[in-house]
Structure 1
Amino acid sequence: MTTAATRPATCLRRAVVRAVERPTPRVLRVTLAGPDLADLPPAAPDGYLKMFFPRPGDVEPAVPPMPEDARPDDVSAWFRTYLALPDTERSPMRTYTLRRRREDPVEIDVDFVLHESGPARDWVLRAGPGDHVALTGPYGLYAPRDEHDGVLLVGDETAVPAIAAILEDLPVGACAVVLAAVRDVTEQLTWDTAGDVTTTWTTPDRLVDDLRSVVFPPGRPYVWLAGEASAVRAMRRHAVTERGVPKGDVCFTGYWRRGKSEEQTVREALAAAERGEAPEDD
């Protein structure tokens, strides 16, 4: 029997907004709390959450129930049920990095980059203490091994919160090279890290090209790439084919897809899985 202390990351949790602040002009940081977070499992420093937001006029997100001990098959079935809801009823879903976690009681921070439009932007701009969200996760991918001599972290503005979290987790003196893209200098951060970090800031339209001139960490680096999906694929090809990084040493994630909502992306991924197709791998 699954207890509250052993619920997996896949289960659906509810949380309440504790505070909202603006660390940079284009980022709103939302602090979430609530009893459902008490057993939130640990994750890699790039841990991310699938978040569900109430539609305008609703108090809580409209999402179907999920088994408390949900397995991957249960989650796939749950997402199909969720996606089958009418557009006028289904709460929007987006993915965000778990930027920071505090204990006793558990609180988490989530950074929202303010895009030009979208349901998450609409929600966070009106969010305040007491507002409700639902979430699953966290899920994390960052996993360098002992044989790696350093890390290369590359991403656009949606990946900056994860890059910051990874750098905060580095041991003393660990070598890291960062290439990060933001809209302007007001979004550039000063990292809180014990690592030995070299950072190059660029803009989203220059990210792929600028990677070509970056000096990778010496030895055998672990390469972490995140951001818009097509840009991530291009950067991965560069790392593997032009820099000779083994595919197994590259962690790559398309945080978003140009011209597609997250619901569309998940729907396509579920359909591909049903057809037995492997994820895109250039």
Structure 2
Amino acid sequence: SFTSIRLVAGAITLWILVQASSKRRAPGGSWPSAFALLAYAIAFSFAYVGLTTGTGALLLFGAVQIVMIAAGFFGGEQIDRTLVLGWLLAVAGLILLLLPGITAPPALEALFMLIAGVAWGVYSLRGRGSRDALGDTAGNFVRSVPGVLLISALFWTHRSADLEGTALAALSGSLASGLGYAAWYTAMPSLGAIVAANAQLSVPVIAALAGVVLFDEPITARLAISSALVLGGTALAVRRKLTPQGARSSIGT
């Protein structure tokens, strides 16, 4: 229920924004990107119910890292010591943040989370060629709606949604998913695959810091250190400009 409401709300919000923009045009995107988005959302919804937050995040972001770094490596993006250092710092910070919640995962849920990570990595990579982030994201969301509604119909007897849950799902779809994914597609062309993979590691830290600001959650030494490692490592990678080096990349200076 949550996933279907989230994607439908995101599609509606983005379609309205595209139509209201100064350059009115049909939503862009593509079917392969929409399929990757749908696969991510569905696999994640099946996975998270059986995993702890720490375990799920490590599986998800681990799969994302492998897909995106491999794509950048074989696509000719340069990898130097600064980028490697930034990535190692960010990974260390993420593990420190999530370590208390890591447990041995159930096999099926772990598989679904790995599928979600691969799908999100593919969806992100397809954003490298986007020239209209809002229009492309809108088109991808709109194309994903028939699929998510079909899957929701197949699991209709397992639905669970009250008014508050529906409202939260709609807000999540409109803001966090719809507008957030459009912002991500805006950044992807200038980041490159490897730096974008590094930037993904900051998501759990930003979410934890948002909990401190919005919900008065305590600031622990572990959160402070992990935040410094992840955000510092991400900053090292993002500030570095990637340059193509042919079919493969090498570790330089």
Band the TM-score falls in, shorter-chain normalisation: under 0.3
TM-score (norm 1): 0.21
Identify, as 1 or 2, the structure richer in helix: 2
Higher relative contact order (CA closer than 8 Å, sequence separation 6+): 2
Q: Which has the higher strand share?
A: 1
